[in-house]
Structure 1
Amino acid sequence: MPRLARGPLLEGLPFGAMAAVAAVDVLAGPEVGFLALFSLGPAFACVAGSVRRALLVGVLAFVLCLSVAWYDALLDTRRAVVALASVAGATGAAALAALVRGRFERELADIRHVAEAAQRVLLRPVPRRAGRMRVAVSYTSAAAAARIGGDLYEVVATPSGTTRVIIGDVQGKGLEAVETAAVVLGAFREAAPDEEDLEAVGRRLERALNRRLEGEEFVTAVLAEVDADHTLTLLNYGHPAPLLIRRGQPVRFAEPPVHAPPLGLASLGPDGPVGHQVVLAPGDQMLLYTDGVAEARDADGEFYPLAQRAFLLEEEDPDAALEALRRDLVAHVAGPLGDDAAMLLLRYRDREDG
Structure 2
Amino acid sequence: MAIVAVVDVTAGPSVGFLPLVALGPAFAGLVGGWRRTALIGGLSLVLCLGLGLYDGLFAHRRGYTALASVAGVTAAGLLAAVMRQRREAELASVRSIAEVAQRVLLRPVPRSAGHLRVVVSYTSAVAEARIGGDLYEVVASPGGVRVIVGDVQGKGLEAVETAALVLGAFREAAYDERDLRSVGARLERVADRELQGEKFVTAVLAEVRDDQSVILINYGHPAPVIVRPNGGVRFAEPPQYALPLGLGIHGTTGSEPYQADFRPGDQLLLYTDGVTEARDGKGCFYPLGDRAVLLKHPDPETALETLRMDLVRHVEGPLHDDAAMLLLRYHER
**TM-score higher than 0.5:** yes
- Which residue of 78, 83, 86 maps to 1:100? 83
User: How do 1:1-354 residues align onto structure 2 when only pairs under 5 Å count?
Assistant: 18-160=1-143, 162-349=144-331, 351-352=332-333
Residue 190 of structure 1: how far off its partner (Å): 0.4
Q: For residues 72 and 331 of structure 1, what CA distance do their matches in structure 2 show?
A: 58
Between 1:315-324 and 1:162-171, the stretch displaced more is 315-324
Cα gap change, 1:311/1:21 in structure 2, threshold over 3 Å: closer, same or farther? farther
Aligned mates of 2:315, 2:11 — CA distance in 1:
47
Counterpart CA distance in 1 for 2:316 and 2:75 is 40
Q: Aligned residues, how many?
A: 333
CA distance in 2, matches of 1:299, 1:72: 56
Partners of 1:77 and 1:313 lie apart in 2 by 77
Structure 1 distance, partners of 2:6, 2:118, is 63
Partner-residue secondary structure (3-state), 1:96: helix
1-side partners of 2:237 and 2:6: how far apart?
68
Per the alignment, do residues 25 and 140 of structure 1 end up closer, same or farther by CA in structure 2, a change over 3 Å counting?
same
Evaluate the alpha carbon distance shift between residue 141 and residue 20 of structure 1 in structure 2; reply closer, same or farther with a 3 A threshold: same
Q: 1:96 to 1:280 in 2, by over 3 A?
A: same
Structure 1: distance between partners of 2:231 and 2:303 = 19
* 3-state SS of paired residue (2:328): strand
Report the AA paired with residue 29 of structure 1.
G
Distance in structure 2 (CA, Å) of the matches to 1:97 and 1:268: 52
CA distance in 2, matches of 1:302, 1:20: 49
1:258 to partner: Cα distance: 0.8
Task: Provide structure 1 residue ranges, at least 5 long, that are not aligned to the other structure.
Answer: 1-17
Q: Quote the Cα distance in structure 1 between the aligned partners of 2:45 and 2:289.
A: 62
TM-score with structure 2 length normalisation?
A: 0.95
Do the aligned partners of residues 71 and 302 (structure 1) sit closer, same or farther apart at CA in structure 2, a change above 3 Å counting?
Answer: farther
After superposing the two structures, state which structure 1 stretch, 298-307 or 181-190, moved more: 298-307
Report Cα offsets for 1:172-231 as digits up to 9, x if no partner: 011110000000000000000111111211111122122321111100000000001231
Normalising by structure 1, we get a TM-score of: 0.89
Q: Is the partner of 2:58 in helix, strand or coil? A: coil
Deviation digits for residues 13-70 of structure 1, max 9, x if unmatched? xxxxx23323333343322211121221111112222211111111122222223333
Structure 2 match to 1:7:
none
Deviation at 1:249, TM superposition (A): 4.4
Q: Structure 1 residues 124, 34: closer, same or farther in 2, change over 3 A?
A: same
CA deviation after TM superposition for structure 1 residue 330, in Å: 2.0
Tell me, what secondary structure is at the counterpart of 1:233?
strand
1:72 positional shift: 3.0
1:235, CA displacement in angstroms? 0.6
Secondary structure of the corresponding residue to residue 51 of structure 2: helix
SS in 2 for 1:25: helix
Relative distance call for 1:314 and 1:249 in structure 2 (3 A) is: closer
Please give the alpha-carbon distance, in whole angstroms, between the structure 2 residues aligned to 1:148 and 1:345.
21
Task: Tell me the amino acid that sits aligned with residue 197 of structure 1.
Answer: D
Q: Residue deviations 1:143-198, cap 9 Å, x none? A: 122111111000001124x0000000000011110000000000000000111111
Q: Which runs of 5+ in 2 are unaligned?
A: none
SS in 1 for 2:286: coil
Per-residue CA deviation, residues 89-142 of structure 1 (Å, 9 max, x unaligned), is 111111111111111111111112211211121110111112221110011222
Q: Secondary structure in 2 aligned to 1:157?
A: strand
1:291 and 1:181 map into 2 onto residues whose CA distance is: 16
